[in-house]
Amino acid sequence: MYFFQKKQILPYLLAALLVGIASGSASALFLYLLDLATTTRIDQPLLFWGLPFSGALIGWIYYRYGQEVVRGNNQIIETAHHGGDPLSWKMAPLILLSTLLTHLVGGSAGREGTAVQMGGALADQFNRFFRSFSVDRKTLMGMGVASGFAAVFGTPWAGLLFGFEVLSIRKSMWKTALLPMALAAWIAHLTCLLWGGEHTEYALGALVSFSFPTLGWLTLAGVAFGATAWLFTAMTRLMGHWWGKIGYPPLRPFLGGLVLMGIFLGWDTQQYAGLGVDQIVAAFSEIPDSWSWLIKLGLTAFTLGAGFKGGEVTPLFFVGATLGSVLSGWIPLPIGLLAGMGFIAVFSGASHAPLACIAMGIELFGLPALPFIGISSVIAYLVSGPTGMYSAQRPSWIKSKMNQLIPAKES
């Protein structure tokens, strides 16, 4: 009962309340503006011509005003691990503006990165006040990460576990971190709903009875989802490394925007722009084009690598759901079930946060989906490679042991 004996409960609860309200309100505003930007782009296809100019503006804004926050989620993770200067307040408005610009012109990106960065940055501003009450800074930032994720997807339990896994909050901190992070996530979720924030509903459809043949098919699908997650991580980092060779940062998204504009306007690929929520929903009942998942994967890696802003998670939902739907042509499981498994499992492999992903699967699809979502997500996580999409994320205990089994390369 250490947490209560030290009489820290009130400062932690107050911090959870403030962080949850701030993060939930910011996410509600973001979701409203993001929907407005998306519908505007759909109604005005000529906005695709703005890709290079929007990219140049995003690059210039960060080059001129946001050098200290340009690393985004990785910067939050590193600050939580190592401390240092407070996260700049500029992180929240800059990522909000740049994400909206990305989606307005059709960049293939997501939204989780924006919500997490806003939540983490807002939470760290409160550290200046709460450190006098001995509120742990890493726990405070965990509240921000958890609440941002919870609010933007409507999944508070997944948000809690996402904060624990991505920030690598260890067992020694559980007594002080668990309750305030859970409260912050739920308060943010409810605040977002009170502001009118809406979340997409997905229909998993009929399930099947669990058997040994079913387990075999789940394993096979999990391996495919994990390999896809590895491919996404590898391509995103390759694109970032390649574009990083261009010395002047605003030039990178300008040139990248030119290429994306040519792809979207020159080929029939505009359905892969932005979030692609309609295509995700459709994948639960209709088999898409065989390579739709790979096209979305490549466009997202290219968009983010070139310097546009947003997140990776919703594009990963697109990749996983469409891949699962395509696999239903070979794997004898219902199309909706495979789409839901891919939806969660590819994210699990790329984020290296399998517990959060399993919780999200339960919150979105219901408890009966747990065996299917859980097995495929864990397998995808195990085969997805030593590192995930957040380069600053510390490997879990399981990944650490797996890495020790891999012989080091001789120099």
Instruction: Kindly report, residue by residue over 93-145, the tens digit of the pLDDT.
Output: 999 999 999 999 999 999 988 999 999 999 999 988 888 778 889 999 999 99
Residue 382 structure tokens: 């195990």
Question: In the chain, which residues fall in CATH 1.10.3080.10?
Answer: 9-194, 212-399
| pLDDT score recorded for residue 373 | 97
| pLDDT score recorded for residue 175 | 79
Ranges of residues in the chain with a pLDDT under 70 are: 1-7, 396-411
CB count in 10 Å sphere of residue 246: 17
| pLDDT score recorded for residue 170 | 78
| pLDDT score recorded for residue 5 | 47
Q: What DSSP assignment string belongs to 275-305?
A: --HHHHHHHTTS---TTHHHHHHHHHHHHHH
Q: Which residues of 125-153 are buried (b: 16+ CB within 10 A; e: fewer)?
A: bbbeebeeeebbbbbbbbbbbbbbbbbbb
- Is the separation of the CB atoms in 386 and 403 below 8 Å? yes
CATH hierarchy code of domain 9-194: 1.10.3080.10
| CATH 1.10.3080.10 assigned to 212-399 | yes
Rounded to whole angstroms, the Cα distance separating 370 from 374 reads: 5
Residue given tokens 């909706």 in the structure block: 336
Residue 2 structure tokens: 């250490």
Residues constituting the chain: 411
- Is the separation of the CB atoms in 180 and 12 below 8 Å? yes
**Which has the closest alpha carbon to 66: 107, 98, 37, 21?**
98
Residues 6+ apart with CB under 8 A from 248: 63
pTM for the full predicted model: 0.93
Residue given tokens 């996402």 in the structure block: 162
Rounded to whole angstroms, the Cα distance separating 34 from 40 reads: 10
- Is the separation of the CB atoms in 171 and 43 below 8 Å? no
Instruction: Kindly report, residue by residue over 62-94, the tens digit of the pLDDT.
Output: 999 999 899 889 999 999 888 888 899 999 999
Rounded to whole angstroms, the Cα distance separating 305 from 73 reads: 14
CB count in 10 Å sphere of residue 252: 25
Amino acid letter, residue 326: V
| pLDDT score recorded for residue 316 | 97
Rounded to whole angstroms, the Cα distance separating 35 from 73 reads: 23
| pLDDT score recorded for residue 411 | 33
